[in-house]
Every structure is written in C-alpha cells, then in structure tokens.
Amino acid sequence: MISNSKRKSYIEQVYQVYHAHDQSQSNRLQRLRSIEPVSAELLSFIVLSKQAKHILEIGTSGGYSTLWLADAALRTQGHITSLDIDDTRQQIAKKHLEHIKLDNCVTLICQDALAFLQDNHQCYDVVLLDAERQFYCDYWCHLKKCLSQAGGVLIVDNVISHAEQVQDFIKLVASDDQFSHSIVPVGAGLLLAVRQNDITKDAYDKLL
C-alpha cells in the first residue's frame, strides 16, 4: 500500500536494517523497536480511509512508522507531527524521510510527550501512541483533547505483546463512554479507539 515501488523497497530495507540492529542489542532501550510491517500497513489504511489531514505520532524512533504514515499523508494531503524524546533517533528518521522525499509531510519535534500534550491545542484525526507504556495513563486526559472531534482515532501498539503493561490504560479507555474501542490482533496487537459522536450516543442510549 506504499505509493510507489522505489519507496516501498526503501522502507522495507529500513525495516530490515532496524530489525537486524535490534537483534544485536541486549538493552531494550537501545533498540529501535519499529512497529511490525502488518501494523504499519493497517496504520496507512486508517489514514487513507479517514482521509486524515492531521496526524500525531508519539514515538518516532528511527522513523519506520513515520515513513508509512508520511506516505499515506502525502496522498491525503495531510501532515504528521512526530514526537520523540531522543534527538539522535529523529535525525536518523529525518534522513530517511528526506531520502524518499517525504520530509515535507512531517514535522519532527524532539520533546517529552507529556510536555507536548499538556501545551497542545491542535485536534488530530489520527494519533499513534508508541512510546513508553508506563506513562500512557498520564497521557489519556490530554489525548482525549487531541481527539475531540467525532471519528478521531487513537492507535496504540503492543497491546497484546505487552498486555499487562497496558491493562490500566485499556481500562481507562474502556471506561470512557465517549470512546469505542477494539483490540485488533495484528502484529503486536493494536488498540483502536474512536471518539463517538455525542448525538449518535444519546440516540443509541434512548434505544436501550
């Protein structure tokens, strides 16, 4: 689902290089921990199907998921804001984005996610959350503001591979009646949560 074959093979190579790098690292924090290719494909599908214009990524790392999102955003005339706390990783991501001419679709911001979210006033159509899982619960009240329009989608990776680490976060999302959610067994497991339209919800409640 990548828009041209040269780009597709470049992005596949990036994945292979990162995967080999990660296999050689015993320290988890030294790994780039790219999202799985099948998950990246689903991300791209969501951006395209929503014709998303405003996309937020929390956790750029080496930019594998960013490359997929950027390729989709090019076709929706959208734009990605991608955050990472690690500038070195973002510089690597930047080189890859430039190499395949997707850099104009992305603004890379080197900042702690919580600090960014606290100051943010922008609404996003799609948010990918793929950072350090122990902080996700702290992000939720801010993520909700980012996703304040009906149809806004939050995607969270690793919810099956690291289920115990995200169980409190999933409980928070599940207990919020402004959002519907689903856990999709693709790759490491993706949580998809969508902001509901309040009118639809009221009408639905009346039927019960």
Ligand X SMILES: C[S@@+](CC[C@H](N)C(=O)[O-])C[C@H]1O[C@@H](n2cnc3c(N)ncnc32)[C@H](O)[C@@H]1O
Q: How far is the CB of 117 from ligand X (least distance, A)?
A: 9
Identify residue 169 by its one-letter amino acid code: F
Interaction site with ligand X (CB under 6 A) = 33-35, 59, 61-62, 64-65, 83-86, 89, 112-113, 130-132, 135
Task: Between 132 and 177, name the residue whose CB sits nearer to ligand X.
Answer: 132
Question: In the complex with ligand X, which residue's Cβ is closer, 64 or 124?
Answer: 64
Which lies closer to ligand X via its Cβ, residue 48 or residue 150?
48
Write down the residue that tokens 């997929």 correspond to.
Answer: 68
Structure tokens at 45: 């599908």
> Which residue, 112 or 177, has its beta carbon nearer to ligand X?
112
Q: Between 112 and 198, whose beta carbon lies closer to ligand X?
A: 112
| Shortest Cβ 76–ligand X spacing (Å) | 19
Q: Is 134 helix (H, G, I), strand (E, B) or coil?
A: helix
CB of 157 to ligand X, least distance (A): 7
* Least distance between ligand X and beta carbon 204 (Å): 34
Residue bearing tokens 């207990």: 175
Helix intervals (H) in the chain: 5-23, 37-50, 64-76, 87-99, 113-119, 136-146, 163-174, 198-207
Residue 94: CB atoms within 10 Å: 18
Select from 67, 63, 68 the least CA-distant residue to 87: 63
> In the complex, what is the shortest distance from the CB of residue 62 to ligand X, in angstroms, rounded to a whole number?
6
Angle at 133 between CA 68 and CA 186, to 5 degrees: 45
